[in-house]
């Protein structure tokens, strides 16, 4: 089973559009499992119409809770809390769960044993059936942290299911940026497809995400989305890729049909056979060539990674 991850240095570059199209195109040839690792804004479900089979709470950590019946309002907890999470109120003290880091300093210092540490349900994860294969996805509750931990959980579940079903490919739609959730999404990937746009910030973000994949020794391919909105910048990005020795998998044109497909809730490659889909097919061939064909050749040559 091979694993690919779709990443971009920032949000809004068309990452999910491309991941959904790859899911559609790949599933025509092989068995796949999908993971939406963008738990802060899970969008893959908007185009895959998932039917939820299982859903469970995600416990990200702990929060302190003050029992007002036992609290003697001494204020020690407010003094020891480095995160300003203890709030003074008219009748005593209360913990604001958003800034509470669950460090338990207040729990150990409270002279009245009025504080308990309780599990914090920070989101929910799902196993769903789609017409392309199983999808693992999650929703993080707004303003809750630990998205890296939730991404790891979603990916681990997806990976286990893929191994259990002897699936050929796991496709991970990663979160934007280069932070902890991105590292969690990229870990263990055989290939990262990096999506960028022909803008100054696009080139800058591509360099950052490429530094990340290079650091973790994940082979990368680049796709320039909306390449024709600024051909000069697109050429610069292509030149940058050549200089860094990273293959350019393809250049997608700007086309309103992509939005139309989103509105209809289907991957663009399923919605139209037009130029965008033709280029997506080419990109999928490149991905397949790099992640499946070449690795099989490497193994047949006797090299053990």
Q: How far is the CB of 181 from ligand SF4 (least distance, A)?
A: 22
Nearer to ligand SF4, 25 or 77 (CB): 77
Smallest distance from ligand SF4 to CB 224, Å: 44
In degrees, rounded to 5, the angle at the alpha carbon of residue 158 between the alpha carbons of residues 33 and 251 is 50
Nearer to ligand SF4, 1 or 80 (CB): 80
The answer to whether 101 contacts ligand SF4 (rule: CB under 6 A) is yes
Query: Residue by residue, what is the 3-state secondary structure of the chain?
Result: CEEEEEECCCCCCCHHHHHHHHHHHHHCCCCEEEEECCCCCCCHHHHHCCEEEEEEEEEEEEEEEECCCCCCCCCHHHHHCCCCCEEEECCEEEECCCCCCCCCHHHHHCCCCCEEEEEEEEEEEEEEECCCEEEEEEEECCCCCCHHHHHHHHHHHHHHHHHHCCCCEEEEECCCCCCHHHHHHHCCCCEEEEEECCCHHHHHHHHHHHHHHHHCCCEEEEEECCHHHCHHHHHHHHHHHHHHCCCEEEECCCCCHHHHHHHCCCCHHHHCCCHHHHHHHHHHHHHHHHHHHHHHHHHHCCCCC
C-beta neighbour count of 160 within 10 angstroms: 12
Residue 154 · residue 35 · CB < 8 Å: yes
The answer to the question of residue 103 lying near ligand SF4 (CB under 6 A) is: yes
Residues 273-302 that bind ligand SF4 (CB under 6 A): none
91 vs 300 by CB, closer to ligand SF4: 91
Q: Which is nearer to ligand SF4, 47 or 95 (CB)?
A: 95
Interface of this chain with ligand SF4, residues 107 to 146, rule: CB under 6 A: 110, 112, 114-115
| Contact with ligand SF4 (CB under 6 A) among 4, 23, 64, 206 | 64
Tell the smallest beta-carbon distance from residue 207 to ligand SF4 (Å). Answer: 37
Distance CA 43, CA 20 (A): 10
Enumerate residues 70-99 that contact ligand SF4 by CB under 6 A. Answer: 71-77, 80-81, 83, 85-86, 93, 95
> Whole-number minimum distance, CB 121 to ligand SF4, in Å?
16
Note whether 52 binds ligand SF4 by CB under 6 A: no
| CB 89 to ligand SF4: min, Å | 11
Is residue 1 at the binding interface for ligand SF4, with CB under 6 A as the rule? Answer: no
In the complex, the smallest distance separating the C-beta of residue 78 from ligand SF4, rounded to whole angstroms, is 7
Measure the N-to-C terminal CA separation of the chain; round to a whole number of Å. Answer: 15
Q: Is 60 in the site for ligand SF4 (CB under 6 A)?
A: no
Minimum CB separation from ligand SF4 for residue 151, in Å? 23
> 88 or 264: whose CB is closer to ligand SF4?
88
- The size of the interface with ligand SF4 (CB under 6 A), counted in residues, is 27
100 binds ligand SF4 (CB under 6 A): yes
Residues that bind ligand SF4 in the complex, under the rule CB under 6 A: 64, 66, 71-77, 80-81, 83, 85-86, 93, 95, 100-106, 110, 112, 114-115
């Amino acid at each position: 089973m091979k694993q690919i991850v779709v990443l971009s240095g920032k949000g809004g570059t068309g990452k999910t559009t491309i991941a959904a199209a790859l899911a559609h195109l790949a599933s025509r040839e092989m068995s796949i499992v999908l993971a939406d690792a963008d738990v802060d804004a899970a969008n893959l479900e908007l185009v895959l119409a998932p039917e939820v089979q299982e859903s469970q709470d995600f416990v990200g950590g702990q929060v302190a809770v003050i029992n007002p019946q036992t609290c003697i309002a001494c204020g020690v907890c407010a003094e020891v809390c480095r995160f300003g999470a203890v709030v003074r109120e008219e009748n005593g003290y209360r913990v604001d769960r958003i800034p509470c880091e669950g460090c338990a300093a207040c729990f150990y210092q409270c002279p009245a044993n009025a504080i308990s540490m309780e599990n914090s349900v920070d989101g929910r994860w799902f196993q769903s059936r789609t017409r392309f294969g199983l999808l693992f996805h999650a929703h993080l509750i707004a303003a809750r942290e630990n998205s890296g931990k939730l991404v790891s959980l979603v990916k681990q579940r997806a990976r286990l299911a893929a191994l259990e079903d002897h699936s050929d490919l796991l496709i991970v739609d990663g979160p934007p940026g280069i932070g902890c959730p991105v590292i969690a999404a990229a870990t263990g990937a055989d290939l990262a497809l990096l999506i960028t746009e022909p803008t100054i910030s696009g080139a800058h973000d591509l360099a950052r995400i490429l530094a990340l994949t290079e650091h973790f020794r994940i082979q990368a391919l680049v796709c320039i989305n909306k390449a024709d909105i600024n051909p000069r910048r697109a050429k610069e990005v292509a030149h940058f890729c050549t200089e860094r020795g990273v293959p350019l998998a393809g250049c997608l044109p700007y086309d309103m049909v992509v939005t139309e497909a989103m509105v209809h809730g289907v991957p663009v490659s399923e919605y139209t056979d037009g130029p965008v889909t033709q280029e997506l097919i080419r990109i999928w061939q490149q991905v397949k060539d790099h992640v499946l064909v070449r690795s099989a050749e490497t193994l047949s040559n006797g090299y053990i990674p």
